[in-house]
Structure 1
Amino acid sequence: MNCSLNIALVSMSALSGEHPQASVVRELACALARPVRDGDRRNHVTVYARRYDDAARERTRLGPGAALRLLDAGPPRPLAEHDLVRHVRDMADGLRRRWSGAGRPDVVHAHGWIEGLAACAVARELGVPFVQSYHGLGTVERRAGRPVHPARVRLEAALGRGADAVLAGSEQEADALVRLGVPRPKIGVIPYGVDGEHFSQAGPTLPHGDRSRLVTVCRDLADGGVATAIRTLVNVPGAELAVAGGPARRELEHDPAAHRLRMLAKRLHVADRVIFMGRMPRRSLPKLLRTARLALCLSPDRPEPRAALEAMACGVPVVTTPVGGNADSVLDHITGLHVPAERPVEIGRAVRRLLAEETTRHAFAIAAADRAHSRYSWERIAAETLRAYARLLPDAEPERRRGAGPERRAEPAVPAQARESEPAAALTS
């Protein structure tokens, strides 16, 4: 692509924090702004996000060609999902003001279903191609027993049917979207990327002892994966488990989930082999991962989206439940192992065998690092995303007919007046 695009990414999350979705959008924005090939012009990427802090600057530079612009939509503080939906109309009004006239983008890409409700309405009005990403689906959350907004599943389906293209993060998410009624030809699969400069095999490490260290990285200590890892440790004598996640380390003592996990470790007589690190800043995470013999990603239904990729980039084989993006990124018996969820005896047997087979583990480590740095580099992810955008542009009709995503066929974009009106009207009026 040798022409410069004006790309609008929409996120309700604050990009200043370490929320997985926010950091993915931030890194994607910077990658999209970099020229894909020599001679290509730099794209202009703006991330439009809801203001979370009264003191935050309205416009912030994220990198060359990429900027963050904050919009007022509700009170300037973090809000739960049920409260955010009340401010979709305010967000849509802010986008409309920014995109009118000279600020009109060439393509709009919403990240999240609430963001999609606001962005889809305005993109339709302006006749701008609209792309939807979800970063998790309500059907998955509901199946896991987590609270879900009563309209979320219905509106996610409607957004997918009305979008010009839908970019799923994994094959499993793509299949779930088809079950929701989103036409398969609209769906492309583009995974998350990994920062290969920050997450690499070479670099400093945290101090550690002589035990074989297993590492699990999560955002939510209560998601089930950590409990399974602790139960697995019973079947891996001599190993230790480092758990990075939950609140900051100084707050772990008062965290209910951390307390339950500590009591579990005590009952199983492995408390002396479990180290709770708390939530770690991303700059420190590679130092921990480089101390690991294996990384465990054992969530039964909602794995941390980038934990496996970042471990692989540091040359650490991954033992994972084949759920979400991990089913695609971790190649069984090549870059790690696929294991059944919540089966600690079976998982422990697999871990024990891999720890004992140094040659196999070393081969897995080489393959893991190679796969992470080649297939999941942000440069490659940005190139695939730009190809998906290009198929929707008015001067790319032949390409548009080839598909919305890198591996799936697509149908032509639906004219604005013919698209389903439910997402735009449901919560913005």
Structure 2
Amino acid sequence: MTPRTRPTARSLSIALVSEHASPLAALGGVDAGGQNVHVARLAGALADRGHRVTVYTRWDSKELPVTTLLRPGVLVHHVPAGPAEQLPKDELLPHMLEFARYLALEWQERGPDLVHSHFWMSGLASLQVARELRLPLLHTYHALGTVKRRHQGRADTSPPARIPCEVQVGLGCDRVVATCRDEVAELAGMGVPAEKVDVVPCGVDPQQFSPEGPVAERGPYRYRLLQLGRLVPRKGAAVAIAALAGLPDAELVVAGGPPPERVDADPEVRRLRDLARAAGVADRVRFTGGVPSSQVPALLRSADVVLCPAVYEPFGIVPLEAMACGRPVVASDVGGQRDTVADRVTGRLVPAGDARALSAAVGELLADPALREAYGAAGRRRVMSQYGWASVAAATETAYRTVLGARMTVAGAL
């Protein structure tokens, strides 16, 4: 491997590895959500700081070129590993060795200054290459197998090797970049020491998501509740539907999932519609299907309250997007939502799975317009002070510099 020049304080060559979550993917599908947004926005914010960023993601379509310029300073590199078609992420583990071999060849002559892997399989592939080429490696999990198994039990489709591999990545990388405090405690239980972990949250673009701008058309109901995100059971739409029974003047808009033309055939939509009929609220629940990202801010602005009732949530970007738009949030008291939603300041935190508590908290807000306005304004201020992507990128770069500095110190002592 050709020796690399020492990186300057102003410019690094950074490889972001995100095997299943491409920054180019359309959002709202089963495996396309917060991680895609995080990688895309982090890459852009790092480029804004003068760094050269390449995102390595799996080649999942024959129509894709090898490389695509996402924006100035950010290149997306499609890695051939497995068939050139979309596969569920839980089926990608057998292709990670091929993924790693490609990265090793790609970086053999001139590798990046550092590697930042996202999700456990990216970490597994990156760890192998980082050891071989002696590259600094940082890792962000986005979700942990221990948490998923605890909440999903037998319904967990993750490969059996996931948790041991996550431990291997956490112990083998130079540093872990966790997205919330809850994750630090979970990692400590897995044997990854807290002193090896930096907490850097996900972010939101406060210019794209703001209180000012177009507002999506409202229905005939007095109040609108909105749940936005992937249409999977753990997101808790069933809890929101049950809560709606106690909120007679409100409609519930569930946005996300398949394209609108395929909503009626979607198994999860069918399940939720059955629950809505049984609860007597079917006429007040609407499923939009996937919503283009350009339309999401207007949809958020149209809501009186945004619901985030996930059974578990590793981080959750939707609360930040809602808060940035000046909307109060009622969220389950889990994962990253414990950090982002300030209870009785920007919204309410309620026990996960508790439809009565969700209904009561929402009802309190619907009955008090001044309280909704106050929570929304406080949420906007919270986003502006803590969760802009520029702040996230600066904190991430600090973690990078810590690792690079430690490597240089060790090299100087040898």
TM-score, normalized by length of structure 2?
0.91
Which residue in 2 is equivalent to 1:177?
Answer: 187
Distance, in Å, in 2 between the alignment partners of 1:239 and 1:210 is 6
Residue 222 of structure 1 and its aligned partner are, at CA, apart by: 2.3
How many pairs align? 394
1:362-411 alpha-carbon deviations (Å, 9 max, x no partner): 1111011111233111100000000000001147878xxxxxxxxxxxxx
Distance, in Å, in 1 between the alignment partners of 2:182 and 2:167 is 16
Distance, in Å, in 1 between the alignment partners of 2:137 and 2:406 is 16
3-state SS of the aligned residue for 2:277?
Answer: helix
Cα pair 2:255 2:289 within 8 Å, conserved: yes
Q: State the identity as a percent.
A: 41
Cα pair 2:142 2:314 within 8 Å, conserved: no
Structure 2: gaps of 5 or more residues: 1-7
Equivalence map 1:128-167=2 (5 Å): 128-145=135-152, 146-167=156-177
Cα pair 1:244 1:279 within 8 Å, conserved: yes
Pick closer, same or farther for the CA change 1:360–1:82 going to 2, 3 Å: closer
Residue 332 of structure 1 and its aligned partner are, at CA, apart by: 0.4
Distance, in Å, in 1 between the alignment partners of 2:131 and 2:371 is 53
Residue 133 of structure 1 and its aligned partner are, at CA, apart by: 0.8
With a CA cutoff of 8 Å and minimum separation of 6, indicate the structure with the bigger relative contact order. Answer: 1
Equivalence map 1:283-362=2 (5 Å): 283-302=294-313, 305-362=316-373
Cα pair 1:167 1:187 within 8 Å, conserved: yes
Identify the range of structure 1 (248-257 vs 377-386) with the bigger mean alpha-carbon deviation.
248-257
Equivalence map 1:207-286=2 (5 Å): 207-208=217-218, 209-223=220-234, 225-286=236-297
The answer to whether 1:116 aligns with 2:123 is yes
3-state SS of the aligned residue for 1:4?
Answer: coil
What amino acid sits opposite 1:138 in the alignment?
Answer: G
Distance, in Å, in 2 between the alignment partners of 1:94 and 1:105 is 14
The answer to whether 1:370 aligns with 2:381 is yes
Structure 1: gaps of 5 or more residues: 36-41, 399-411, 416-429
Identify which of 37, 48, 57 aligns with 1:23.
Answer: 37
The answer to whether 1:46 aligns with 2:54 is yes
Cα pair 1:194 1:373 within 8 Å, conserved: no
Which residue in 1 is equivalent to 2:208?
Answer: 198
1:92-146 alpha-carbon deviations (Å, 9 max, x no partner): 1111122122x22111100011111111111122222110111101111111222
Residue 47 of structure 1 and its aligned partner are, at CA, apart by: 0.8
What amino acid sits opposite 1:353 in the alignment?
Answer: E
3-state SS of the aligned residue for 2:43?
Answer: helix
Which residue in 1 is equivalent to 2:93?
Answer: 85
Residue 303 of structure 1 and its aligned partner are, at CA, apart by: 6.7
Distance, in Å, in 2 between the alignment partners of 1:108 and 1:364 is 39
Residue 22 of structure 1 and its aligned partner are, at CA, apart by: 2.1
Distance, in Å, in 2 between the alignment partners of 1:31 and 1:49 is 19
Distance, in Å, in 2 between the alignment partners of 1:117 and 1:85 is 9
3-state SS of the aligned residue for 2:247?
Answer: coil
Cα pair 1:120 1:163 within 8 Å, conserved: yes
Residue 210 of structure 1 and its aligned partner are, at CA, apart by: 4.8
3-state SS of the aligned residue for 1:284?
Answer: helix
Distance, in Å, in 1 between the alignment partners of 2:408 and 2:43 is 25
Distance, in Å, in 2 between the alignment partners of 1:28 and 1:77 is 26
TM-score, normalized by length of structure 1?
0.88
Cα pair 2:305 2:329 within 8 Å, conserved: yes
Cα pair 1:11 1:48 within 8 Å, conserved: yes
What amino acid sits opposite 2:42 in the alignment?
Answer: L
